[in-house]
Amino acid sequence: MTVKGRFELSSFFQKVYQLVSEIPPGRVASYGQIARLLEAPHNARVVGWAMRQSPEAVPAHRIVKRSGELAPEAVFGAGVQKAKLEQEGVAFDENGRIRMEAHAWER
């Protein structure tokens, strides 16, 4: 299966997993940021698909919306993503969003 006619999906997923594995504890990245770093800026949703199917060793909980919002609870289960991030020291604001200015990962 190809996405946007540019690459094979399984190959792209592997690149996503490799890149996401570089994000250290206490840092987060957005779906769009990962897509841009992989030179596929219009495929943030595909990054999301990859995160839903990621191997357990991939820190998928560190990928969030650019606004600092978390993935839908159906992805990780109620409160799981937030709990994992809080254990890593990630701070949330009064609206439950990550303070991106403090925790954004830069490669």
Residue-wise pLDDT tens digits, 11-25: 899 999 999 999 999
Q: Which two tokens stand for residue 48?
A: 């999301």
> In which domain, by residue range, is 27 found?
2-102
The pLDDT > 90 percentage for the chain reads: 80
Q: At residue 59, does pLDDT exceed 80?
A: yes
Residue 96 lies in a domain: yes
Mean pLDDT in residue range 25-49? 96
CATH at residue 77: 1.10.10.10
d(CA 22, CA 53): 18
If one counts the domains in the chain, the total is 1
Q: At residue 5, does pLDDT exceed 60?
A: no
Mean pLDDT in residue range 65-83? 89
Residue 78 lies in a domain: yes
Residues 84-89: contacts with CB under 8 Å, at least 24 apart: 85/28, 85/61, 88/25, 88/26, 89/25, 89/26
pLDDT value for 9: 60
Residue 107 lies in a domain: no
pLDDT value for 1: 42
